[in-house]
Each structure stands twice: as C-alpha cells, then as structure tokens.
Amino acid sequence: MRLSDCHNIDDFRKLAKARLPFPVFDYIDGAADDELTKARNTASYDAVDLVPDVLAGVAEIDTSCTILGRKSALPLMLSPTAVQRAFHWQGETAVAKAAEKHSLWFGISSLATRSIEEIAALTSGPKMFQLYVHKDKGLNTHMIERCQAAKFDAMALTVDTIVSGKRERCLRSGFTTPPRFTPASVWSYATRPRWTLDYLFREKFRLPNLDTHVSEGSSEAVSIAEYFNTMLDTSMDWSTAAAIREQWGGTFVLKGVMSAGDARRAVEIGADAIMISNHGGRQLDGSRAPFDQLPEIVDAVGGEIEIICDGGVRRGTHVLKTMCSGATAASGGRLYLYALAAAGEEGVMRALDILKDEIERGMRLMGVTSVDQLTQERLRARSLS
C-alpha cells in the first residue's frame, strides 16, 4: 500500500499500521478499557442525516470561517496531540507546515516533541498550546510564560486527564516515551527498519517544553499512564482553571468539557471556547460521544461561547454535521496522526486535501454556499427516529 492508495482517513490508518512498530501504532489507535467510547465517537455521526436543498446555485462556495478570532479556511481544527516524533521523525513540524498551507488552526501539546519557540518560528498560522496542569507550579508558569513570549494565539487547558485512563493496548505492548525496545516488541521494531533507523539516528527524542523541569518522558522512559498518574495535579478544580485563564490573559479554551453544566461554568469563568471532548475515548470508557452531547450544550450556552466538537471526525460530512448542529468548528487528532505516521508532512497534506474536498463537495450537494449558512440552519442535520 502506498500513499497514493489513501483516499480516506481509514486508508491512512491502514498504511500507518503497516509502517509503524505495533507498540507505537497501538498508542495512536488505542483507547481506554473496552474502547467503546472511541468507537462511539465516530459511530455517533451515523445517527444524524444531512438534509440537502437542490437548485441552490452553488458554483461559488466559501468554506472559510472565524475560529477564536482567527480566519480558518475550513471549519476544522487539528487538535493538539502528544509525542508526535514517536510516530514520524518530522513530528509537529510536519503538522505545523501542513496546517499553515491549508490555513487551519492546529495545536501542540505540553508533551510535544518540538518546542514552543520552534513552532512559533516555523509558522505564522493560528496556533494553540494545550496545557496539562502539573503538580510543579513552576513548570506550569514557565510554559505559560513561554507561550506568551512566543505569541501563541490561544491556550487550551485540558481538564479530563487528572489521572490516566486504563489503556490496555499500551499495558500489553509496554509503550513508553521515549519508545524503548522490549523482548516482546523487538521483532516489530526490527521489521520496520525505516521507522527504527529514523528513531535511532536522527536527533534525540525529547520533550522540550518539559525538560527544563522534569526528566520523566524526556530522557527517562515512562508510560504515558505513569506520567499522568505521578506528574499531573489531581486537585485541579474550577478555581485552578480561572486562575490559569487570568495568568494567561489571552484567548482561553477548556478542552474536555462534556456536560451542559460544565459548559455553563466555563462561560462563568470567562472562557472564550470549550472543546467538547472525551480525549478520543482514551480516558473514561463508557462516556458519551462529543457529537451526541453537542445539541444539549448548544442549547445551554450557544451564542455565549465558541463550541468546538472534538473527536471521531473521519469524513468531511462529519464536519458538516457538527456545523449543522450548532458548533463553531470540528476538530480531531487521529484524523491527521494516521497520515503523519504513514508519510510525514506529505501524508498530512494529502489527508487535509481529502477532507477539504469532502467538505466542499458536501456543501455543494447540500445546496449551501457558506459555513455561516450551515450554522444558521440547524434543521439540516436531523436525528433518525
């Protein structure tokens, strides 16, 4: 299978599986417990139909919109995800370049493998930093100050990872960051020489936004679960979120909101946006899908705060359904991580080209000429009875 054989996001997943050692692929692909929520995140879109209008005159359409005060060519964001150089040696560099070429928002994680400063110098496009609140308050402040100096456009506080979900695929494979070879996985690494040689002989794997304060996960191999369970602040509460919003002073997003009540509290502390998200099904298995929660949250706080529906997006029609249901934008991680793992920047570019084409085609077939028209007509997306 080659990159030219990839015509949808699932094709990129298949190519990534063929090219990655199995512990690395299972880290991207896996989720918590029985992985029911991960599957539901995508399946939830099947329960809603798009209702098209015809003879609408759609020779010219406008897919652009404004998200968090910045223009975006599509109503789609690339969610921040961790340790991207474990998937392809280009890591966040590839995603940043592809996002800028497509004029899209993207984010980097506290656990990114490229530094805040490197990403800021690389792209003038809209960029978000995703903050994990560590027990080390000095580290939290240090990352916030670096983002301020680097002029990041937004900060997203992730609120659903005070402890790690039970990611059983990672428990079985022994995946760590940095990746390490174990007796159970050495054959998989040996039979993926391109990945293994890149990992061994290119620049040293590190987490440059953390290694000023911690060694775990940068020079010392630990599992993501161990890192979350030992390093992150389990006492985080609404006063913590409000204090971080105040300290940051810029556009502020809460990532991981799933209930209408929490959405209301996000409005009350002055957040600019929420990302309805269950962390890709990697935390609380059995929780609802973000798309299923979207109508309730839109009814509760729509018009008062921007609402980004995060997770499960695999098709352009999924993006259209989120817009018809009242969201500001859709976002996702695996939709570009599979492509990154498959072919680096070239893979991410192709994946975004495909999604852009699907969104444009879908809008024409629905008879809408602008994203604003989608968001104004919620009845275009109807639940099946």
Element (H, E) at 157: strand 154-158
Q: For strand 48-50 and strand 381-383, is the pairing parallel, antiparallel, or unpaired?
A: antiparallel
Cis check for the bond before 193: say yes or no (omega within 30 of 0).
Answer: no
- Token pair belonging to 313: 């997006």
Under 8 Å between Cβ of 189 and 175: no
Among 88, 102, 134, 279, the one annotated catalytic: 279
**What does R_g of the chain's alpha carbons equal in angstroms?**
20
Tell me the C-alpha to C-alpha distance, in Å, between residue 241 and each of 123, 158, 227, 237, 247: 28, 10, 21, 7, 10
Q: How far, in Å, CA of 385 to CA of 378, rounded?
A: 17
DSSP secondary structure of 133-145: -BS-HHHHHHHHH
DSSP secondary structure of 16-66: HHHHS-HHHHHHHH--STT-HHHHHHHHGGGGEEE----S---SS-B--EE
DSSP secondary structure of 288-344: PPHHHHHHHHHHHHBTTBEEEEES---SHHHHHHHHHTT-SEEEESHHHHHHHHHHH
Please enumerate in sequence order all residues whose Cβ is within 8 A of that of 228, keeping only pairs 6 or more positions apart, or say none. 161, 162, 163, 164
Tell me the C-alpha to C-alpha distance, in Å, between residue 237 and each of 266, 308, 353: 12, 21, 40
- Token pair belonging to 170: 């990672």
Tally of CB atoms within 10 A around 171? 12
Catalytic, 279? Answer yes
Under 8 Å between Cβ of 24 and 329: no
* Phi and psi, residue 237, nearest 5°: -145, -170
Q: How far, in Å, CA of 52 to CA of 211, rounded?
A: 52
Q: Provide the annotated active-site residues.
A: 279
